[in-house]
């Protein structure tokens, strides 16, 4: 019989390599990012109202929704470690979410033209069975170029980023709309800050770099 794994000296939580990992999001961008960790996971859609509260700051909104998504999925999978995430574009304190259609995307990009926008990307990790719950926030400062209507129209026709907060995909052609990006977690702008996510998953007991099993 193999002995039970010893608790981590810092967290007091024993690594449990086989504990289910769930991404509480249907975002293809977050799914692709999490796949980089080469750790098996399932995807479950969270049933969460993403409407902002009256007067709610963008960073507060992102944190609240990330935690709400993780909790909503964890309620049905209490043994699993669940990741929730949310991103809100912060234009001078005003939240900008997903445009949803072409007309709204044009409005958003016109507003952001020549402006500094902070993309607030929150992540939460929850496991009901162990009582684990943490949240973190990655703020990414983005400087947009001064955009002409032709720039905006050509970009939107090419990439159609209507499911992206702020109406632009920095990992794609949207990079041509920008002057600069400032952050400390390179994948945060795409939708999931992996450095922060890895930190919380380790604390939750997920072994991200386990020893590889040799074939029999």
* Nearest residue to 119 (alpha-carbon basis) of 154, 83, 168: 168
Residue 17 CB contacts under 8 Å (≥ 6 apart), including other chains:
206, 207, 210
Q: Are residues 25 and 4 in contact, defined by beta-carbon separation less than 8 angstroms?
A: no
User: Hey, what are 113's tokens?
Assistant: 């033209």
Strands 132-144 and 21-23, bridge-based pairing? unpaired
90 a catalytic residue: no
- Under DSSP, the state recorded for 109 is H
Residue from 90, 98, 83 nearest 30 by CA: 83
Q: Which residue in 86, 90, 136, 185 is the catalytic one?
A: 86
- What CA–CA distance (Å, rounded) separates 138 from 95? 15
Cα separation, 110 vs 114, in Å, equals 9
- Look at the block and give the residue holding tokens 């400032």: 182
Report the distance separating Cα 194 and Cα 211, nearest Å: 21
Would you name the residues annotated as active-site residues? 86
């Amino acid at each position: 019989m193999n002995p039970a794994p010893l608790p981590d000296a810092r967290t007091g939580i024993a690594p449990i390599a086989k504990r289910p990992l769930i991404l509480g999001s249907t975002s293809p961008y977050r799914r692709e990012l999490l796949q980089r960790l080469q750790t098996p996971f399932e995807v479950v859609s969270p049933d969460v109202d993403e409407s902002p509260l009256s007067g709610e700051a963008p960073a507060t909104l992102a944190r609240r929704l990330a935690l709400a998504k993780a909790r909503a999925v964890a309620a049905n999978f209490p043994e699993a470690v669940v990741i929730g995430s949310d991103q809100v574009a912060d234009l001078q304190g005003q939240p900008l979410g997903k445009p949803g259609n072409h007309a709204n995307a044009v409005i958003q990009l016109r507003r952001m033209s020549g402006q500094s926008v902070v993309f607030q990307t929150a992540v939460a990790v929850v496991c009901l069975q162990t009582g684990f719950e943490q949240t973190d926030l990655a703020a990414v400062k983005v400087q947009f170029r001064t955009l002409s209507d032709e720039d905006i129209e050509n970009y939107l026709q090419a990439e159609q980023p209507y499911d992206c907060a702020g109406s632009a995909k920095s990992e794609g052609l949207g990079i041509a709309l920008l002057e600069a990006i400032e952050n400390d977690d390179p994948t945060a702008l795409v939708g999931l800050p992996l450095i922060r996510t890895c930190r919380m998953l380790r604390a939750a007991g997920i072994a991200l770099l386990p020893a590889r099993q040799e074939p029999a």
